[in-house]
Structure 1
Amino acid sequence: MSMRAVLEVIALDAGDAVAAQAGGADRLELVTDMAADGLTPPVRTVAGIRAAVDIPLRVMLRLADGFGVGGAGGLDRLAGVAGEMRAAGAEEFVLGFLDEEGGVDLGAVERVVAALDGCPWTFHRAIDRAADRDVLRKRLDGLPGLDTYLTAGAASGVDEGLPTLIAEAARGGEPGYQPQIMVGGGLRLDHVPALLTAGIGAFHIGGAARPGGWDGPVSVEAVAEWRAVLDGVGV
C-alpha cells in the first residue's frame, strides 16, 4: 500500500487557503508577491490563514527577489522575521540561499535554521539555480528540520528537469537525498504518472490551482482535479 501523495498549494490569503483545503490540499505554502516568485507574507496574513484552516502551513522566508540574503542586515531581518512567524503560530517554513557563485550560502541557511529551533522546513527552488545540485544537497545534509526539497529538476521547469528528478529519486538512501522530493515549477498533470512511477510522492502547485491566473483565487475544482489524479482516481 503506497502512501497518499502530498499536494501542496500556494496560498496568498485566507480565501485561497480555505479553497485549497476544500479541494484536498495536504499543505499550503504561504507567500506574497508572486511577481518576485514569492516573498515572506505579512505576519497578520499568516495568522489569518492559520485561523482559517487546519492543514499544515509552510511560510516562505525570503525578503527580496533572487536567492541572496542581502548581506548581514538582511540576515538579521530574516532571523527576526522567522521569530515573529513562530510567535504567530507558524511551525513549518520554506527557505534557500545561494552565494554569488551559485553554491549554497551555508552560513545564511544555518543562521535562519537556528532561529527556527527545530521546525521542519523545505529548501526551495534555489536548488534549481545551484551550480552543483549534488554538492548543495551534501552540504545541507543533516541540518535540523530539513525534510523537503522543492524542485523542478531544472531552472526552466519540469519539462527539462524530469530526468534529473527521476535520477535523484533513485538515490533516496544516500547522504543528502533523504529529504522528500516535492516537485514544483512548470508542473502539469501529464507529468504526474512518470513522477509517481519513480517513487516521488509530493507535488506543489501555484498557477495550476488558479484558472484565472495569479490575480484570481485558488479554485476548489482545480485543486480537486489534482487530488484525484494523485490518488489515481479518474485518470
Structure 2
Amino acid sequence: MKLEIAVTSAAGAGTSAAEGADRIELCSSLELGGVTPSQGLLEASLEHVDGRLEVHPLVRCRPGDFLFSASDVDTMVHEIRHLLKLGAHGVVVGALGADGSLDLRATRRFRDVVLEANPDAQITFHRAIDHSVDPLTALDALLELGFTRVLTSGHEATAGAGLPTLSRFVEHAGGALEIMAGGGLTLDDIPAMHAAGLSAVHLSAKRTVSTLRASTVSLGSQDGADPTAYTVTDRETVRAARAAVNAVNLKRRT
C-alpha cells in the first residue's frame, strides 16, 4: 500500500518526503477543495522533496463544481502542459457533465495532452467521481482511457463510510486501475482499507495555525472566521500514517 499526502506548500512537500510519504498531491486553497498550484509552488516543492517522492499537482482552475466550460478546459490544458514541463510526475484531473456523468470529451482531452507532454506521466482522476451519478460507469470510462488511478471515498462523505463501495471498485478495476482511498480518511481506517485490497491511501494530514491577537483587524471576513488562520502539513500525522501503512504492508508480507 502507498501513502499519498495532500499538501499546499513547499514546506509540506518537504515534510511529507522526510516522513516517508510515497507521493504528494500538490494544490493551493485546500480549504476550497483545492485548485491548481502556481509555477513557483511546484518548482519549490520539487526542490524540497529532492527526488524522494513523486509530485502530482492538482489541475483544477477554479473551486466549486466539476462542470467546466470550454474556457475552463482550455485553461487546464495549458496548466497540464506547463506543470509536466516543469517536472511533475503526473497530474490529478476530473470533469463531469451536466447530467452528473463523466465528461468524456474533457477527460479524454486531458488524457491526450498528458500523453503528448510526457507519455510516462501518471494520470489520476480526483474525487469528482464521488459526485458522479454512476461511479461504476465512470470507472469503466477511466479504465478505457488508460488512467493510472482514481481518488475516491467510495461515493460517500468519508472513505470509512464508503468502504463497501471501495471494495467493489477494487474488484471491478481488477488491478488495471489503482483505487486510492481518500476523503475524511482516518489513521484507524487504514487496516480496513488494506484488507479490502486498496493499493493506496490519501490524507491531507493538516493542522491549523493561527496568530490571532485581540487587536487583529479583519481583512474582509464576514463569517467570524479567524483572519490569520491557515493550514500546514502536520509532521506527526504524516509519521503516524507512514507507520500505519508500514504495519499493514508488513502484515501482508508475513
TM beyond 0.5 = yes
SS of 1:171's equivalent in the other structure is helix
TM-score of the two chains, using structure 1 as the length reference: 0.89
Match of 1:129 in 2: 131
- Which of 41, 48, 55 pairs up with 1:52? 48
Once the 2 structures are TM-superposed, how far is the Cα of residue 160 of structure 1 from its aligned partner?
Answer: 2.3
Q: Which segments of 5 or more consecutive residues in structure 1 lack a partner in the other structure?
A: none
Contact 2:130 2:156 in 1 (8 A): yes
Contact 1:23 1:222 in 2 (8 A): no
Contact 1:7 1:203 in 2 (8 A): yes
Alignment of 1:1-235 (within 5 A): 5-53=1-49, 54=51, 55-65=53-63, 66-69=65-68, 71-117=69-115, 118=119, 119-144=121-146, 146-173=147-174, 178-206=176-204, 209-212=205-208, 215-232=230-247
Cα RMSD of the aligned pairs, angstroms, is 1.9
TM-score of the two chains, using structure 2 as the length reference: 0.83
Q: Which segments of 5 or more consecutive residues in structure 2 lack a partner in the other structure?
A: 210-228
SS of 1:38's equivalent in the other structure is coil
SS of 1:231's equivalent in the other structure is helix
Once the 2 structures are TM-superposed, how far is the Cα of residue 166 of structure 1 from its aligned partner?
Answer: 1.6
- How many residues matched? 224
Q: Over residues 29-72 of structure 1, what are the superposed CA-to-partner deviations in whole Å (9 max), with x where a residue is unaligned?
A: 01001132011011111111111112101111111122122x11
Once the 2 structures are TM-superposed, how far is the Cα of residue 105 of structure 1 from its aligned partner?
Answer: 0.4
Match of 2:219 in 1: none
Runs of 4+ in structure 1 over 4 Å off: none
Once the 2 structures are TM-superposed, how far is the Cα of residue 114 of structure 1 from its aligned partner?
Answer: 1.4
SS of 2:150's equivalent in the other structure is strand
Q: 1:43 to 1:122 in 2, by over 3 A?
A: same
SS of 2:247's equivalent in the other structure is coil
Contact 1:152 1:161 in 2 (8 A): yes
SS of 2:62's equivalent in the other structure is coil
Once the 2 structures are TM-superposed, how far is the Cα of residue 198 of structure 1 from its aligned partner?
Answer: 1.4
Structure number with larger C-alpha Rg:
2
Structure 1 CA distance for aligned equivalents of residues 142 and 235 of structure 2:
36
Structure 1 CA distance for aligned equivalents of residues 33 and 101 of structure 2:
20
